[in-house]
């Protein structure tokens, strides 16, 4: 009797604990997810369905539609914005890779005098906010003849991706055992050969992480895109949607939500997987 009762009460306790925890987590979940849900359902609703106060707005009162997406691709510059966003991010990722990976390696492995302070100095530049740099940079962009073209953003975005990714790569390279590199050297590899053949392949996850961050951080920007790129067909998505799809007081909420979702959701999902790396990066614990 007692033996049978004991596990049941433990199980009941466990269930009660879970229920309490779920009740605690539920409000956070609702707050975090509802705006996203609201975007999705708005994007799929017919225009009149958005403006019926007497119906329950949380679900479809008229059949769902893809018309909002159609409008985007056939009646606006949205197609070019997507292409711009992807191309900008790809270039930024490439520039970041070519600069941050070697720099991270040099700072972590080559016992340069003052390497630690140099590393911190580079990381601190990540924290110089765009709002202080965008006015002088607008002059730089103009003198390069890049104003009014998305190339301006390719030049500017690495100012925050390089510091962050250098810091990240420093951490990764520190975790590769020195012995591996020295063994390669004994076997006749030069310094560069050891980097290319031994250290880089082992640090591939780190390199990939850097690429992902270069991509997602580029897509998180709003200020530089707003300040440097005026022509309608040159904008990246996060800037094009609020500045071109909103005209005066007329809001096409269905298309607007559809437009930002298509780019926002993939970025959010990708970023989600690498969030812990990001937090480790900024709290300085990368090298542990």
Partner 1 sequence: MTASLPSGGPDATSARAAAVSVAVGTRSRGWFQSQSSRRLAFGYALLAPAGLYVLLLVGLPFLFSLYLAVSDANVGDQTAAFIGLANFQAAWEMETFWIALRNSVVFLVVAAIFKSVLGTSLAFLLLQNFRGKKLVRALVVIPFTLPVAVSVLSWKWMYDSQFSVINWALSRAGLIGGYGSESWPIWLGQPHLALFACIGVNVWRSFPFSAIVLLAGFTSVPLEVLDAARVDGCTFFQRFRHVVTPMIFPILIIGFLFDTVFTLSDLSVVYLLTAGGPGNATQILPVLAYQIGIQAGSLGRGAAIALTLVPLLFPALFLMLRNIKRRDW
Residues in 250-269 at the binding interface with partner 1, rule: CB under 8 A: 251, 253, 256-257, 260-261, 263-265, 267-269
The residue among 6 and 98 lying less far from partner 1, judged by its C-beta, is 98
Burial of 215 (0-12, 13-18, 19+ CB in 10 A): buried
Task: Find the binder of partner 1 among 83, 94, 140, 189 (CB under 8 A).
Answer: 140
Q: Which 67-96 positions form the footprint of partner 1 (CB under 8 A)? A: 95
29 binds partner 1 (CB under 8 A): yes
| Whether 96 contacts 210, CB under 8 Å | yes
* Euclidean distance between CA atoms 271 and 278, whole angstroms: 9
Helix (H) or strand (E) holding 250: strand 250-251
Helix (H) or strand (E) holding 246: strand 246-247
Task: Find the binder of partner 1 among 71, 72, 88, 100 (CB under 8 A).
Answer: 100
Count of residues of this chain found to bind partner 1 when the rule CB under 8 A is applied: 105
* Euclidean distance between CA atoms 198 and 194, whole angstroms: 5
Task: Find the binder of partner 1 among 62, 66, 98, 208 (CB under 8 A).
Answer: 98
Q: How many CA atoms within 13 Å lie on the side-chain side of 42?
A: 19
Smallest separation, CB 1 to partner 1 (Å): 30
Q: Which 156-195 positions form the footprint of partner 1 (CB under 8 A)? A: 156, 158-159, 162-163, 166, 171, 175, 177-179, 182, 191-192
**Selection from 122, 204, 112, 228 nearest residue 165 by Cα:** 122
Smallest separation, CB 150 to partner 1 (Å): 16
Task: Find the binder of partner 1 among 6, 62, 112, 208 (CB under 8 A).
Answer: 112
**Selection from 137, 122, 138, 50 nearest residue 281 by Cα:** 122
Q: Which 116-135 positions form the footprint of partner 1 (CB under 8 A)? A: 118, 120, 122-125, 127-135
């Amino acid at each position: 009797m007692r033996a049978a009762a004991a596990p049941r009460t433990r199980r009941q306790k466990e269930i009660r604990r879970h229920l309490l925890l779920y009740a605690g987590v539920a409000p956070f979940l609702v707050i975090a997810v509802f705006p996203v849900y609201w975007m999705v359902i708005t994007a799929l609703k017919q225009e009149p369905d958005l403006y019926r106060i007497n119906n329950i707005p949380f679900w479809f009162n008229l059949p769902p539609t893809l018309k909002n997406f159609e409008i985007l691709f056939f009646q606006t510059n949205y197609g070019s914005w997507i292409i711009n966003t992807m191309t900008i991010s790809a270039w930024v990722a490439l520039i970041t890779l070519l600069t941050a990976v070697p720099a991270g390696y040099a700072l972590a492995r080559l016992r340069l005098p003052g390497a630690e302070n140099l590393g911190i100095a580079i990381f601190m530049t990540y924290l110089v906010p765009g709002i202080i740099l965008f006015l002088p940079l607008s002059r730089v962009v103009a003198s390069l003849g890049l104003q009014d073209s998305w190339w301006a953003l390719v030049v500017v975005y690495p100012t925050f991706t390089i510091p962050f990714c250098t810091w990240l790569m420093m951490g990764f390279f520190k975790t590769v055992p020195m012995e591996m590199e020295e063994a390669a050297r004994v076997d006749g590899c030069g310094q560069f050969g050891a980097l290319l053949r031994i250290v880089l392949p082992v640090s591939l996850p780190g390199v990939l992480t850097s690429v992902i961050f270069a991509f997602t951080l580029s897509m998180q920007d709003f200020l530089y895109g707003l300040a440097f790129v005026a022509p309608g067909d040159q904008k990246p998505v996060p800037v094009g949607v609020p500045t071109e799809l909103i005209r005066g007081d007329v809001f096409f909420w269905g298309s607007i939500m559809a437009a930002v979702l298509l780019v926002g959701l993939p970025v959010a999902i990708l970023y989600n997987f690498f969030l812990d790396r990001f937090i480790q990066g900024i709290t300085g614990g990368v090298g542990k």
